[in-house]
């Protein structure tokens, strides 16, 4: 990449090359040359951008004017980085893990670091367009800034951004592999801040895998060649950093639970001095072009705190200054093969409360595998009534019922046939055979669900549940007493008491759930849908049985 034709090669392979050259030229015109540390590859790139854009200038630039770019940068935006991500398609950014970090995540990480003291230097190990460094410079007006990147395009953009933000005097950008960086020793502390690239081991050169294994071995840590690039960056940071330095990285959360992640986990429990890990729910979609669970790790080199805080974050707005989380003892973390399950432990319940799961199992309703075949309106089938089960088949039926379902008249039927059709009375067989012939012709036997069943025609409804709950909506779930023994399909959950409970107790349980459960207890998906999986619903706190048995509830 940095050879004779490095610059052209860095760009020429892309279909959007002209636009990228325009971008490089824009960075140069913002003053990129003033930020020290230029490499030969960048010089060549800038020279090429000059000629190419001059050749094609009549076609117009995809960028706003220089004045507009400057104005946006002054206002805290990163127009160069945003344009880079627009122009270079995601699939071409993937080999170098070029997914840039959204501003709220950068802000939360800087807020955490600000609580740790004032760094004298900030290093971003894969600087991209320098959005971290520029934000850090605004937080710490005297800190030196050092950005490293392996891509000459990114390095020039970082320079342009830093220059336009007025930071040329205290910034250096270095075109290098971060693993080779040996930052000069300084008086004072360094903050390692950034988003190490997510690149799978298949794309990592054997020599670097060997580097990982042998450098880890020097620290008595077993590393595997299967480690992703972010694990290499954690190790390189442990090598470069000094006691008292701090760090916060956002990465894929993979290292928390997979075997190769042991290297990162051991480093955090030892010399990297892990303080906290904040796991961002995958449904948040923090990174526009990478569907992954992200984790923000906070560390202070040389610390050996008795516990590390683990926290799940469901909304970017909840990141705050990366406080809070469940303290987990180092000894417990050292023994655990996976860290994510340790985040999910239920917070302590208040006295007198238990989890709903202690009283009831929660089961999602049956999947029919084809509602067009198996769910029918009243009067729409010739099948005998005993094969038709009034069922809740739409969440709105539960919302409409409010506290209790007292009339199954408005419900549709689910057709549930026995697996052994010989069990059917003689009289029913011709009409059932006729129905099945039509159902088969309509493809009902061929779907994935139908093929997985012992008999493709047996839906296998669950027993009626005395409390039914919706589990996905833009509002808290409806908890409805099921007084008509309706069945339910997979749009609802059924709450099945572990022991027989009298109706009055069930009423009070459903009433308590209706009054207490809030959307934030579920998982929120992009767009505001809140979902409660059965296991999540089982974790809801409810009064213990002794209390529920007495009226009124305290």
Ligand X SMILES: C[S@@+](CC[C@H](N)C(=O)[O-])C[C@H]1O[C@@H](n2cnc3c(N)ncnc32)[C@H](O)[C@@H]1O
Note the residues at the interface with ligand X (CB under 6 A).
96-101, 124, 126-128, 131-132, 148-151, 154, 177-178, 194-195, 197
**Side-chain half-sphere exposure of 39, counting CA atoms within 13 A:** 24
Task: Output 156 or 506, the one with its CB closest to ligand X.
Answer: 156
Among 130, 170, 123, 172, residue whose Cα is nearest residue 153: 130
Task: Output 78 or 538, the one with its CB closest to ligand X.
Answer: 78
Task: Output 101 or 470, the one with its CB closest to ligand X.
Answer: 101
Query: Which one-letter DSSP state was computed for residue 490?
Result: T
Minimum CB–partner distance for residue 98 and ligand X (Å): 4
Minimum CB–partner distance for residue 115 and ligand X (Å): 21
**Cis, peptide link before residue 227, omega less than 30° from 0:** no
> Could you tell me the strand order of the sheet in which 523-524 lies?
472-473, 530-531, 523-524
Nearest-CB residue for ligand X: 126
Contact 180, 39 (CB under 8 A): no
Minimum CB–partner distance for residue 251 and ligand X (Å): 9
- Strand pairing class (190-194; 121-124): parallel
Minimum CB–partner distance for residue 486 and ligand X (Å): 51
Minimum CB–partner distance for residue 468 and ligand X (Å): 45
Tokens of 245: 């330095």
Task: Output 189 or 237, the one with its CB closest to ligand X.
Answer: 237
Minimum CB–partner distance for residue 48 and ligand X (Å): 19
Minimum CB–partner distance for residue 324 and ligand X (Å): 24
- Strand pairing class (492-497; 360-364): antiparallel
| Distance (Å) of CA 29 to CA 35, 527, 548 | 12, 40, 72
Minimum CB–partner distance for residue 220 and ligand X (Å): 25
Q: What angle do CA 438, 441, 444 make, to 5 degrees?
A: 90
Task: Output 99 or 190, the one with its CB closest to ligand X.
Answer: 99
Q: What angle do CA 164, 288, 264 make, to 5 degrees?
A: 90
Task: Output 239 or 388, the one with its CB closest to ligand X.
Answer: 239
Task: Output 80 or 411, the one with its CB closest to ligand X.
Answer: 80
Q: What are the residues whose beta carbons fall under 8 Å from the beta carbon of 45, sequence distance 6 or more?
A: 6, 7, 10, 11, 24, 152, 153, 156
Task: Output 247 or 466, the one with its CB closest to ligand X.
Answer: 247
Task: Output 97 or 390, the one with its CB closest to ligand X.
Answer: 97
Minimum CB–partner distance for residue 51 and ligand X (Å): 24
| Distance (Å) of CA 529 to CA 296, 405, 517 | 24, 24, 15
Q: H or E element: which one contains 469?
A: strand 467-470
Q: What angle do CA 337, 339, 342 make, to 5 degrees?
A: 115
Query: How many Cβ atoms from other residues are within 10 Å of residue 195's Cβ?
Result: 28
């Amino acid at each position: 990449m940095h050879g004779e034709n490095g610059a052209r090669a860095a760009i020429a392979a892309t279909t959007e090359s002209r636009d990228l050259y325009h971008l490089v030229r824009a960075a140069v015109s913002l003053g990129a040359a003033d930020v020290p540390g230029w490499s030969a590859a960048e010089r060549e790139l800038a020279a090429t951008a000059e000629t190419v854009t001059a050749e094609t200038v009549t076609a117009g630039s995809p960028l706003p004017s220089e004045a507009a770019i400057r104005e946006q940068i002054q206002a805290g935006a990163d127009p160069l980085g945003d344009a880079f991500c627009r122009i270079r398609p995601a699939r071409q950014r993937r080999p170098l893990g070029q997914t840039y970090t959204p501003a709220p995540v950068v802000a939360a990480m800087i807020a955490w670091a600000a609580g740790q003291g004032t760094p004298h230097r900030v290093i971003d190990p894969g600087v991209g367009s320098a959005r971290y460094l520029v934000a850090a410079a605004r937080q710490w007006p005297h800190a030196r800034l050092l950005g490293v990147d392996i891509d000459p395009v990114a390095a020039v953009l970082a320079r342009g951004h830093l220059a336009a933000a007025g930071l040329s005097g205290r910034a250096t950008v270095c075109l290098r592999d971060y693993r080779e960086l040996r930052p000069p020793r300084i008086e004072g502390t360094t903050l390692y801040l950034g988003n190490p690239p997510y690149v799978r081991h298949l794309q990592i050169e054997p020599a670097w895998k060997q580097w990982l294994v042998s450098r880890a071995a020097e620290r008595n840590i077993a590393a595997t060649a299967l480690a992703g690039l972010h694990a290499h960056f954690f190790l390189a940071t442990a090598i470069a950093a000094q006691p008292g330095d701090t760090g916060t990285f956002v990465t894929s959360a993979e290292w928390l639970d997979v075997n190769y992640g042991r290297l990162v986990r051991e480093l955090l429990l030892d010399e990297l001095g892990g303080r906290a890990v904040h796991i961002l729910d995958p449904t948040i979609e923090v990174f526009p072009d990478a569907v992954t669970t992200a984790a923000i790790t906070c560390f202070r080199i040389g610390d050996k705190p008795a516990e590390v805080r683990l926290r799940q974050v469901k909304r970017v707005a909840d990141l705050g200054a990366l406080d809070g989380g469940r303290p987990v003892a180092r000894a417990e973390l050292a023994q655990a093969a996976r860290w994510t399950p340790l985040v999910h432990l239920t917070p302590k319940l208040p006295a007198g409360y238990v989890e709903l799961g202690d009283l009831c199992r929660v089961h999602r309703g049956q999947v029919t595998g084809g509602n067009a075949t198996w769910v029918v309106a009243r009067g729409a089938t010739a099948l005998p009534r005993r094969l038709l089960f009034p069922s809740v088949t739409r969440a709105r039926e539960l919302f409409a019922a409010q506290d209790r379902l007292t009339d199954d008249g408005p419900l549709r039927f689910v057709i549930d046939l026995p697996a052994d059709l010989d069990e059917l009375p003689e009289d029913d067989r011709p009409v059932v055979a006729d129905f099945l012939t039509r159902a088969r012709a309509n493809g009902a036997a061929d779907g994935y669900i139908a093929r997985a069943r012992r008999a493709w025609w047996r839906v296998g409804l669950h027993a009626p549940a005395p409390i039914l709950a919706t589990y996905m909506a833009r509002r808290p779930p409806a908890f409805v007493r099921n007084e008509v023994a309706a069945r339910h399909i997979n749009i609802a959950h059924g709450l099945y008491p572990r022991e027989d409970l009298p109706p009055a107790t069930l009423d009070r349980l459903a009433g308590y759930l209706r009054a207490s459960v809030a959307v934030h207890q579920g998982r929120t998906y992009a767009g505001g849908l809140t979902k409660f999986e059965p296991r999540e619903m089982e974790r809801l706190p409810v009064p213990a049985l002794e209390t529920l048995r007495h009226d009124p509830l305290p």
